[in-house]
Amino acid sequence: MLWDIDQTLITIGGLSRRIYERAFLQVTAQPLRELADMSGRTERAILRETLVLHGLRVDDDGLQVYFDAIADAAEHLRAEIKQAGYALPGAVEAIRALTAAGIAQSVVTGNLKRVSITKLSAFGLAEGIDFEIGGYGDESEDRALLVKQAMRRASHSCGHDVSGDRVVVIGDTVHDIRAARDTGVRSVGVASGRTAAADLADAGATVVLADLTDTTALVDAVLMRKPVRPHQSA
Ligand SMILES: [Mg+2]
């Protein structure tokens, strides 16, 4: 199970911009004037576009100093993140229920690894997540490659092939769903962000949920169990 983080498990409101402002000022000694669209995109893509918006040219190696500054800024703002943000309804229960069902869980996220740990631990969501088998936002601008990276790490960690129907990506944007589709794995779309359920379905989501509050529906979807409804006859 590969979780997206922002708007799927948590929301941190305006703190995403604050993190960027702090990191950008630290590295460039100039204030952040514009910030690229962040929704569903990887840190590498957001950073590259933001630098272009400021007329700054940085090669691949030059990005690392920004990544480090972003991770430092998130840690610095941890108390504010905790205060302004929250775990979305059902997130804690969902991770717990999937752990109880024996499902290995990690993240495929636009966030950096350090930022992922900072964010999820701030809301008590880090337990049950194996951060070593995830895919992270500094690794590519293409989310599908992050899914592949996570599958490689999971296969190596488990000692058997982890791909296809055995893998589920869960996220709130069409970027999450397309990354799953392009990698040949299943996906759960959660309409807890700015993307409507119908758009997640159109993008190819295997299952679409309004939010994470129906733990049983989520676990059934992940385990490919048909939901049992009281009115159904045998
Ligand atoms: Mg998201």
Could you report the per-residue pLDDT of 67-91, keeping only the tens digit for each?
999 999 999 999 999 999 999 999 9
Nearest alpha carbon to residue 51 among 65, 31, 35, 39? 35
Distance 111 CA to ligand 1 centre (A): 10
Q: Is residue 233 part of a domain?
A: no
Neighbouring residues of the ion ligand 1, judged by CB less than 5 Å? 4, 6-7, 172
Q: Are residues 92 and 208 in the same domain?
A: yes
Q: How many domains does the chain have?
A: 2
What's the CATH number where 97 sits? 3.40.50.1000
| End position of a domain, from candidates 83, 109, 133 | 83
- pLDDT (tens place) for every residue of the chain, 234 residues total: 999 999 999 999 889 999 999 999 999 999 999 999 998 899 999 999 999 999 998 998 999 999 999 999 999 999 999 999 999 999 999 999 999 999 999 999 999 999 999 999 999 999 999 999 999 999 999 999 999 999 999 999 989 999 999 999 999 999 999 999 999 999 999 999 999 999 999 999 999 999 999 999 999 999 988 766 666 544
Q: Are residues 107 and 201 in the same domain?
A: yes
Question: How much is the pTM?
Answer: 0.94
Q: Is residue 230 part of a domain?
A: no
Q: Are residues 29 and 76 in the same domain?
A: yes
Distance 230 CA to ligand 1 centre (A): 33
Distance 69 CA to ligand 1 centre (A): 22
Q: Is residue 234 part of a domain?
A: no
Assess contact for 43 and 67: CB atoms under 8 A.
yes
Residue 46 lies in domain: 15-83
Distance 5 CA to ligand 1 centre (A): 6
